[in-house]
Chain A
């Protein structure tokens, strides 16, 4: 099956710093990738849709300047949490659309961000 890799899996940072999370599709090209955020014991909330070569589309309530998304190639999308604060601590998961008719999405293993 299709493989999506996320890095890092865990990151701890100080308040005020910026953190970059990478999402890679390893064995397929993904024109579209999605970023989700998950709080403890809650479901995944879609943050933004990342489209290769163009600006990301953010969901309502998600700060564009806070969560910078770049989809520079067909296999890589990055999420940068800028000037992180403790309330940004969460589990971030990406998914990639292989683009086939099935519409099946493949997920990375997630990245646990802890802001001190």
Chain B
């Protein structure tokens, strides 16, 4: 059974710092990995999608890497801003029971203070 773990569970940093959020998964047979952002009481916003054949994806100040063999992904946030404060969720997609299923980690709650 696929399990996704995110470390740290919470993070509080001053504005401007570069951050690394970690995600690990137990079953390397994944289709892809997605990083999401969730603001309190809101739905999910997709940040980056990395296909299993890729090693990284970049979008603005965000960079996500994937090492499928070791079951790890990192989300790098450069020059953090207060507006980055949110919960960041990592999720892997595996083909199970005839469908692409998304399994989530518990998330990292990020607070960036001015």
Q: Taking the complex as formed, is A74 at the interface, i.e. its CB lies under 8 A from any CB of chain B?
A: no
Chain B contact surface mostly? strand
Q: Is the CB of B51 within 8 A of A102?
A: yes
Q: How large is the interface on B (under 10, 10 to 19, 20 to 34, 35 or more residues)?
A: 20 to 34
Which residue of B is nearest A59, CB measured?
B101
Interface hub of B34, B43, B101, B107 (most chain A Cβ within 10 A):
B43
Interface of A is mostly: strand
Task: Report whether A97 and B107 are in contact in the complex, using a CB–CB cutoff of 8 Å.
Answer: no
**Of B65-73, B77-85, B92-100, the one with at least 4 CB within 8 A of chain A:** B92-100
Contact A95 B102 (CB under 8 A): yes
Smallest CB separation, A96 vs chain B (Å): 11
- Complex contact B42–A110 (CB within 8 A): yes
B11 close to chain A: CB less than 8 A:
no
Name A residues whose Cβ lies closer than 8 Å to a Cβ of B. Answer: 1, 6, 32, 34, 36, 41-46, 49, 51, 57, 91, 93, 95, 97, 102-110, 112
Residue ranges of B at the interface with A (Cβ–Cβ < 8 Å): 31-32, 34, 36, 41-44, 46, 49, 51, 89, 91, 93, 97, 99-107, 109
